[in-house]
Structure 1
Amino acid sequence: MSTLLGRLGGAAAARPWRTVAAWVLLIGAVLGLAQAFGGEPRDNYRIPGTPSTAGMDLLNARFPETSGTSARVVVHARDGEELPADALAALRGSLARVPHALSVSEPVPSRAGDTALLTVGYDVKVTAFKGSEGLDALRDAARATTGAGYQVEFGGELPENFSAPNGTAEAIGMGAALVILVVALGSVTAAGLPLLVALAGLGAGTGLITLLSAVVDISDIAPTVASMVGLGVGIDYALLLVSRHVEGLRRGLDARAAATEANATAGSSVVVAGATVLVSLLGLKLAGLSTYASFGYATFATVGAVMAAALTLVPALAALAGPRLLRRAERRAPVPPAERHGSAPAPAAEGATRTERWARLIGRRPVTAALLSLAVLLALAAPMLGMRTWPQDAGSQASGSTTRKAYDLIADAYGPGANGPLLLAVDLDRLPAAELPSLEQKLAAEPGVVAVRPALVNAAGDAAVISVQPATGPQDEATVELLDRLRDGALPAGVQVTGTVAAFSDISDRLSQRLWVVVPFVVVLALILLTVLFRAPVIAVKAAAMNLLSVAAAYGVMTAVFQHDAGAKLLGLPHAVPVSSWVPILMFTVLFGLSMDYEVFLLSRVREDWLATGDARGSVVRGLSATGRVISSAAAIMVAVFTGFAIDPDITVKMIGVGMAAAVLVDATVVRMVLVPATMTLLGRHNWWLPRRLDRLLPQLRIEHGDAPAPAVPAPAGQPVEV
């Protein structure tokens, strides 16, 4: 692999303009095809096998008029006066004329009369609306009402399914990344190169996601998450390659030779790190929801595109930049004689850099460093034990959105439970219609129920639907307890609880169960990949364990921030909210792959030194010294990118941004700079232990530069070491 990547880098550097032109044509072709044949992102929350899905299937089959989507329109008089009937009638008439409107309910006034609620039923699914067209139609219909001075807000399935695109997060992340790159590389040219490469990869990835949307359901926020991850890893991969290229220039190599060496060494790390991210994303398929699979498809396409861009565009652009990648003082300095490719890394002078002094300090106190870093990780992970999950709804949105305003108006005027009524789907073939009144009375007497609407029977007389309003809001634990009581015996046969709250509860339960399927799958795949590539099972097991600690710490930080008022308000939320049910599995798969990035960057350099010198402990110090600055810079860039996404209005994106920023910060500091070198120093030569039987089974995949065999190093007694 090293030789092939080196040839690829050399070829791109030898013909840089052809490489750049090829990427311009590729991006143009992909975006052109996406424009002509691409689809629109859409969510699919259907979960086969759950009670809420069974109930909804019954209603869809026997109540065709309820099979489409719906929207809730809330009208409020700011002065507290009673709403005039003619204004509400005119609004109802306008709503009845919006595209695909099947029915509009009579206005339901509040007790004070200053608020009214109308429900619009559609004859199509929510996925039939492209972008904001459904919400725009509602706003146009309410224009006369708002013009008369009344407040009109929109909630329900249709408005809540739309999230406006927001490019602020990307802009903030890229601006911060540019500053960090200038500081890290010392050259504006070198700093701009990784950004250009990441943008090229994002352009191709965006087109691929749009094409995928034409054949599979891609969640509305999947492109945002894919951009977040793609931007971070794209800049990181390019930074690693540029840094190694600059090292070659400093040693007197010409641009082509430096590109060949960078691709053969750092490029191998990029391939391994990117492959680990892609393998981890496969775990999303096991979550059991098509929405999760769509996150995997979108992120897979984007990460693959930025990885390809890094391996081909970096050598080409670096060749075009030439010595401008060096600091100004370095350009004026005498050029040293070129070293041959594949030479052993030269040990740095004692105390030459802060990173080397740090590495030697960790090497002198490995036990203390390991215990302290482990204590920090466990302390950060502790709040995870109190994590409560619930899918995002309007009650979790920022207070400035129309869906959140509608949610609050409904809660104030009709009670918090009006935002999440429980719908009972009744199969009258199994429960006689004559028993419906007694069922309604039983439901009204149930603790936690404030209202029960009379049963609505379909025209065929074989199904009915009953609406039950809880006393508490959708996110309240008491509402879930009421749902569980109804399902656990309070309802007769033939009655299923469905609706938004029931579906969200089923989603939360399903995802909690599937987490314990996804975690072992991703961990085992990563173990196999690292064992094959590094031929060191101890290293692979240790890397997996430390990545699990990083993810646990991220969960703890996210729980502490969002489930407490102070943290939630700091991020623009009005109060504490549960962790979105979508986040834990999604974060685990993405973070496990991203954590492996830094592990691979560090271990590749340590292994390169170990194979060249046979010095187990010294290779840890030299490997950390060589990569510490790059890893710190790369982590700072990712933290900046992910923190930028914490301002996104979508609660799921906001949580992922905070969690991933925390995880990368912890991973690149506490784990990679302290815990990994400390444990590797303690294990010494045992890090590279490889059983003879496994040695014969594993393929010989050399990821280090050069094909010369490493010097033979005697292994500890009874423990053969593969070198």
Structure 2
Amino acid sequence: MNRTLHRIGAICAARPWLTLSAWVATLVLALGLAATVGGTPRDDYDVPGTSSQAGTDLLRERFPALSGTEARVVVHDPDGGQLDPALLDRVIGELRGVNQVGVAGPAQPSTDGDTAIIDVRYTVPVTDLDDDAMDQLRAATGPARDAGLQVEYAGQVPEGDKSTSHTGELIGVLVALVILIIAFGSVVAAGLPIIAALIGLGIGSSGILLLAALTDIGTTAPQAAAMVGLGVGIDYALLLVTRHVEGLRAGLTPRAAAARATATAGRSILVAGAVVLLSLFGLLFSGLAAYRTYGYATAIVVATVMLAAITLVPALCTIAGRRIVRRRRIEDTAEPQRPPMTARWAARVGRRPAGWALLALAVLLLLGAPALTMRTWPQDAGSQPTENTVRRAYDLIAAEFGPGAYAPLVVAVDLTEVSQDSVPALRDQISAVPGVATVSEALLSPDATAAVLSVQLEYSPQDARSGELVDQLRADVLPAGAEITGVTAVFVDIADLLAERLWLVVGVVVGLSLILLTVMFRSVLVPIKAALVNLLSVAAAYGVLTAVFQWGWGSQLLGVDHPVPVSTWVPLLLFAVLFGLSMDYEVFLLSRVREEWLATGDPFQSVVRGLAATARTITAAALIMVVVFAGFMTNADIVTKMIGVGLATAVALDATIVRLVLVPATMMLFGRANWWLPGWLDRLLPNLDRRRAPSGAPVDKDETDRPMEPVSAG
């Protein structure tokens, strides 16, 4: 692998302007295609194999006018006056004329008459809506706004209409640039990782929109992909630039240093990126289309920025020449140099490795403890910030009609299995269940083969009692042929499904990662330890999420005005992403430790030198990732906030407690056993790097490896 990467780096470094031009041309082409033929991200709420999906399928078959997505228009007089029925009828008439709307109205007035809900049912699922569906909805309700009334929107249609601000991400990029300038002491060196990451991100994000034209991509998937892609893109480029600078300081020409950096750092980048992609592959086992789209979208971006790191960065480094190196005065370099602070720290940890390992473990377990009380629930309107129209609609409906009115249950009854005469009795049975507020009269399908009941609960959708009521109705009240669907029931099924699938995804991701790391590091113990410490990082992130959002510790600083459950979408997605990101730093560190081990055979000093050589890069990379992820906490969407908090927390812990304490302590405890591999397994596994010099550099050299006058060390 090193030999191949060396050649790739040498080719790109020998033709830097051609390489850069090819990437810029690809970026322009990708952006152009995305703007002209790219699709629009849409959510897919289908949950195959569940009771709620069976009810939805029955509606689609027997109630075509009610089978699609839905929206709810909430009209409110802020002065408390009675709403004009004629005005409401006019709005309903406008809504019925909206494209793809099957049924609109009648208006449901509140007890005091100052608020009304107008249900709007579409004939197509949310994935097939017109791109301007919300604009049409706003235009149809214009007469109410013109009359001075407050109009808010609820349901799947407005929930899927997310406007995204990129202010947080832009601030994150600027702060990342400052961190890189401090780390390298050179504006030129600092700019290279940013340029490479942004070009790769632009192409990858365009690829997501092109994919959205062919299949459903969730509305928050592009933001999650951009979050991860920007972070790892800067990380990968930073690692390669760091190794390039080391080569220049050792006296190599810029072309030779770029080739050598691609061979050494490029190997770590490919393996780290492969682990991230394997982790995303685990999302395919979630059982939900929404998670598959997260995996597709993020994988596209990660693969693009990884390719940019090993091809574009060598070209940029060659173009930059020796300007990339921070120069120091010659007399400074002549003085005896103390060991780096990280080397002294590693030696200190090595003197009492068991104590340091236990301390780090205790901190991670303490942070992860709140996760034992975690309750998950898909994000709903009650979790959104108050500036969002669906949150304002939620608050109006809860205040005027009761907390359960925002998302009533829908009972779909198949009259080919259940007698029509028994439907009134079924309605009475449902009404008698404690916690049920109201049950509507049955609505028959046009062919009289199905009936629908609308059930309003006394609790909000995210209240744990709502889920318990759904389970109780299914188990004790509904006969065969009757199914509960609707948003609340779908959310209950999603929560149950993901709780079951989480362990399958964990098993697949950890298993595949163990195989890959065993092949790379030729060790049994190192991959197992890597997997365990990464799982500890994920658990700690879960704990912090629970404390911040579910317990409400500091959530108001993030614009969340009350405690909310952790979104069901977050734990599984966070695991897949975090396991891959944490493994990035593990690969960066252990690759260097292994190089030193192969060169010296000293298990103690190899850890000290490996940590000393990588700690500055890992720290800078982690700071950048934390800043980038923190920028996403400013996003209005609650799920994006949670993902940002979880990722930033895990990366910060991973680069400090895990990488600086737990990993070196455990490696020093195990000593030579870290690199033990049974002979039969060594012969069985493919060898990615059969010819290796002690330093880890490739054995073969080309004519570009001519040394030049050494650059002043620094």
Percent identity between the two aligned chains: 56
8 Å contact kept, 1:450–1:469: yes
Q: Distance in 1 between matches of 2:418 and 2:123?
A: 28
Equivalent residues in 2 for 1:169-568, closer than 5 Å: 169-327=168-326, 329-330=327-328, 333=330, 351-568=338-555
Query: For residues 340-373 of structure 1, what are the alpha-carbon distances to aligned partners after superposition, in whole Å with 9 as ceiling and x for unaligned?
Result: xxxxxxxx97843221221111111211110100
Q: Distance in 2 between matches of 1:455 and 1:313?
A: 64
Say if 1:706 and 1:179 are closer, same or farther in 2 by CA, change over 3 A. closer
Q: Distance in 2 between matches of 1:65 and 1:179?
A: 56
8 Å contact kept, 2:547–2:553: no
Amino acid at match of 1:189: V
Superposition deviation, residue 126 in structure 1: 1.5
Q: Does the residue aligned with 1:395 lie in a helix, a strand or coil?
A: helix
Partner of 1:716: none
8 Å contact kept, 1:591–1:663: yes
The runs of 5 or more residues in structure 2 that have no matched partner are: 701-714
* Larger mean Cα displacement after TM superposition, 529-538 or 492-501: 492-501
* Larger mean Cα displacement after TM superposition, 273-282 or 354-363: 354-363
Query: For residues 276-298 of structure 1, what are the alpha-carbon distances to aligned partners after superposition, in whole Å with 9 as ceiling and x for unaligned?
Result: 11111110000011111111111
Partner of 2:704: none
Q: Distance in 1 between matches of 2:471 and 2:100?
A: 35
Say if 1:202 and 1:49 are closer, same or farther in 2 by CA, change over 3 A. same
Q: Distance in 2 between matches of 1:30 and 1:491?
A: 52
Query: For residues 64-114 of structure 1, what are the alpha-carbon distances to aligned partners after superposition, in whole Å with 9 as ceiling and x for unaligned?
Result: 111122210001111111112222222222222222222211211101111
Equivalent of 1:640 in 627, 630, 634: 627
Q: Distance in 2 between matches of 1:172 and 1:491?
A: 53
8 Å contact kept, 1:251–1:336: no
Superposition deviation, residue 335 in structure 1: 13
Matched, 1:113 2:113: yes
8 Å contact kept, 1:251–1:335: no
Q: Distance in 2 between matches of 1:120 and 1:229?
A: 37
Equivalent of 2:638 in 630, 651, 656: 651
Amino acid at match of 1:418: A
Partner of 1:569: 556
Say if 1:4 and 1:236 are closer, same or farther in 2 by CA, change over 3 A. same
Q: TM-score, normalised by structure 1?
A: 0.94
Q: Distance in 2 between matches of 1:462 and 1:499?
A: 20
Superposition deviation, residue 46 in structure 1: 1.1
Query: For residues 675-702 of structure 1, what are the alpha-carbon distances to aligned partners after superposition, in whole Å with 9 as ceiling and x for unaligned?
Result: 0000001111110001111111111212
Amino acid at match of 2:188: T
8 Å contact kept, 1:523–1:544: yes
* Larger mean Cα displacement after TM superposition, 22-31 or 53-62: 22-31
8 Å contact kept, 1:642–1:661: yes
Amino acid at match of 2:465: A
Q: Distance in 1 between matches of 2:446 and 2:250?
A: 84
Amino acid at match of 1:305: T
Q: Distance in 2 between matches of 1:12 and 1:493?
A: 66
Q: Does the residue aligned with 2:451 lie in a helix, a strand or coil?
A: strand
Q: Does the residue aligned with 1:83 lie in a helix, a strand or coil?
A: coil
Say if 1:349 and 1:539 are closer, same or farther in 2 by CA, change over 3 A. farther
Amino acid at match of 1:108: Q
Query: For residues 449-487 of structure 1, what are the alpha-carbon distances to aligned partners after superposition, in whole Å with 9 as ceiling and x for unaligned?
Result: 111101111121111001111000100011111111101
Q: TM-score, normalised by structure 2?
A: 0.95
Equivalent residues in 2 for 1:149-188, closer than 5 Å: 149-188=148-187
Partner of 2:697: 706
Superposition deviation, residue 316 in structure 1: 0.8
Q: Distance in 1 between matches of 2:474 and 2:171?
A: 47
Q: Does the residue aligned with 2:106 lie in a helix, a strand or coil?
A: coil
Say if 1:8 and 1:707 are closer, same or farther in 2 by CA, change over 3 A. closer
Q: Distance in 1 between matches of 2:95 and 2:108?
A: 15
Partner of 2:60: 60
Q: Distance in 2 between matches of 1:97 and 1:27?
A: 42
Q: Distance in 2 between matches of 1:317 and 1:67?
A: 54
Q: Does the residue aligned with 1:153 lie in a helix, a strand or coil?
A: strand
Superposition deviation, residue 628 in structure 1: 0.5
Q: Distance in 1 between matches of 2:408 and 2:142?
A: 29
Q: Does the residue aligned with 1:447 lie in a helix, a strand or coil?
A: coil
8 Å contact kept, 2:100–2:129: no
Equivalent of 1:611 in 585, 591, 598: 598
Say if 1:88 and 1:476 are closer, same or farther in 2 by CA, change over 3 A. same
Q: Does the residue aligned with 1:418 lie in a helix, a strand or coil?
A: strand
Superposition deviation, residue 522 in structure 1: 0.3
Q: Distance in 2 between matches of 1:130 and 1:526?
A: 42
Q: Distance in 2 between matches of 1:100 and 1:71?
A: 12
Query: For residues 134-158 of structure 1, what are the alpha-carbon distances to aligned partners after superposition, in whole Å with 9 as ceiling and x for unaligned?
Result: 1111212222321221110001111
Amino acid at match of 2:54: A
Superposition deviation, residue 434 in structure 1: 1.0
Q: Does the residue aligned with 2:362 lie in a helix, a strand or coil?
A: helix
Superposition deviation, residue 336 in structure 1: 10
Matched, 1:6 2:14: no
Superposition deviation, residue 176 in structure 1: 1.5
Query: For residues 153-201 of structure 1, what are the alpha-carbon distances to aligned partners after superposition, in whole Å with 9 as ceiling and x for unaligned?
Result: 0011111122112212321211111111111111111111111000110
Q: Distance in 2 between matches of 1:30 and 1:168?
A: 23
8 Å contact kept, 1:178–1:191: yes
Q: Does the residue aligned with 1:420 lie in a helix, a strand or coil?
A: strand
8 Å contact kept, 2:108–2:118: yes
8 Å contact kept, 1:555–1:659: yes
Q: Does the residue aligned with 1:646 lie in a helix, a strand or coil?
A: helix
Matched, 1:623 2:610: yes
Partner of 1:69: 69
8 Å contact kept, 1:565–1:576: yes
Query: For residues 491-542 of structure 1, what are the alpha-carbon distances to aligned partners after superposition, in whole Å with 9 as ceiling and x for unaligned?
Result: 2222111111111100110011000100010000000000001101110111
Q: Does the residue aligned with 1:106 lie in a helix, a strand or coil?
A: strand
Q: Distance in 1 between matches of 2:266 and 2:169?
A: 26
Amino acid at match of 1:222: A
Q: Distance in 2 between matches of 1:477 and 1:698?
A: 49
The runs of 5 or more residues in structure 1 that have no matched partner are: 338-347, 710-723
Partner of 2:705: none
Query: For residues 625-676 of structure 1, what are the alpha-carbon distances to aligned partners after superposition, in whole Å with 9 as ceiling and x for unaligned?
Result: 0101110100000000111111111111111110010000011100011000
8 Å contact kept, 1:252–1:336: no
8 Å contact kept, 2:6–2:698: no
Amino acid at match of 1:128: D
* Larger mean Cα displacement after TM superposition, 274-283 or 7-16: 7-16
